[in-house]
Amino acid sequence: MFRPILNSSLRIARPTASTVVKARLRAYRYLSQEARSTIQKAIEAKPLVLFMKGTPDAPQCGFSRAVVQVLDLHGVPPEKLQSYNVLEDPELRNGIKEFSEWPTIPQVYVNGEFIGGCDILIGMHQSGELETLLENSNIIPKAAEEPAQTTSS
Amino acid sequence: MKPDVSVIGPVQASIEQKLTVKLSPKSLTISNDSWQHRHHAAMRAEGGGNGETHFTVNIVSDEFRGKSTMQRHRMIYAALSEELAGSVHALSLYTKAPEEVEVVSQA
């Protein structure tokens, strides 16, 4: 039971800088195995998982709102997206920060892998990386497969 | 409504000092955006916050060379762990290595 959780957590720790790995190992002390397991299930609930303040329809924070808007812009279908309102669950709010070693909300996961927060997501949106990631993760259809459409800004 | 943002509070001073020491930035601009966020549910619950809750950090450092955005953000978070555990609620980060700066339009 311990092994798969450990493995999948390390898989998320893809930035292989030794400092990051050290920080992650330190985090194991703070987060119980049970809490870790709950979060692992939560981030794998859907291909795209968003931990945010509020809900997609009623975000309670500008950074969470920005992430929802970017995902909306890319046409992420509701059935592929699971969002968690951390304001309703203080345990989750603290747990997810320790899990990812990332101190702020929102947090975005694609196929169980931590992608980043608001600034990173918007940066990826601007560079085109986000579209590629969403396409390659089968969250949105590949644009190239569609007939040429008029683009609206 | 907008307060005099040229006044640098103790938290902002601490952020500036720590980033300067740990990342030897080529350039570092910190702006306090807290006044724009006082209406937030979380800030209202704290009586509007202490006026030092939200910052934007623009930083250029050699230390970022060859690192992903996520790694850069983690470096900042590591340097500012005390501030983030305290009053700081949100940081907007713009992290660049020196050779990436010219590409960015000066906003």
Number of continuous H segments (helices) and E segments (strands) in chain A: 7, 4
Chains A, B: CB contacts within 8 A come to 47
Task: Please state the ipTM of this predicted complex.
Answer: 0.75
* 8 A C-beta contact, residue B63 and residue A19: no
- Domain annotation covers residue B4: no
Range of the domain at B66: 10-98
- For residue B34, being part of any structural domain is answered with yes
Is residue B65's pLDDT more than 90?
A: yes
Nearest to B45 by CA among A90, A77, A145, A57: A90
For the whole model, what pTM was predicted? 0.76
Q: Is residue B82 part of a domain?
A: yes
* Beta strand pairing call for A113-116 and A107-110: antiparallel
The answer as to whether B5 is a domain residue is: no
- pLDDT tens-place string over residues A73-122: 999 999 999 999 999 999 899 999 999 999 999 999 999 999 999 999 99
Residue B64 falls within a domain, yes or no? yes
CB A52 within 8 A of CB A66: no
The count of structural domains within chain B is 1
Lowest-pLDDT range, A3-17, A31-45, A54-68, A81-95? A3-17
Q: Are strands A107-110 and A48-52 parallel, antiparallel or unpaired?
A: antiparallel
pLDDT band at A13 (very low <50, low <70, confident <90, very high): very low
Q: How many CB atoms lie within 10 A of CB A67?
A: 28
Contacts for B38 with CB less than 8 Å, ≥ 6 apart: B44, B48, B49
For residues A18-31, one letter each, b for 16 or more C-beta atoms within 10 angstroms of the residue's C-beta and e for the rest, the string is eebeebbeebeeeb
Which among B40, B69, B73 is the nearest to A61, CB-wise? Answer: B40
Helix pair angle (A18-27, B69-79), 10° resolution: 60
Specify the pLDDT at position A147. 53
Could you tell me the pLDDT band of residue A4, with boundaries at 50, 70 and 90? Answer: very low
Per-residue pLDDT band for A143 (boundaries 50, 70, 90) equals confident
Domain around A102 = 37-136
pLDDT confidence of residue B6: 72
Residue B60 belongs to domain with CATH number: 3.30.300.90
A-chain residues within 8 Å CB-CB of B77?
A: 102-103
Residue A102 counted as domain residue = yes
**CA of B90: which chain A residue's CA is closest?**
A104
| Structure-token match 């937030």, residue found | B40
- Interface residues on B facing A, Cβ-Cβ cutoff 8 A: 37, 40-42, 67-71, 73-74, 77-78, 81, 84-85, 90-94
Q: Is B57 a member of any domain?
A: yes
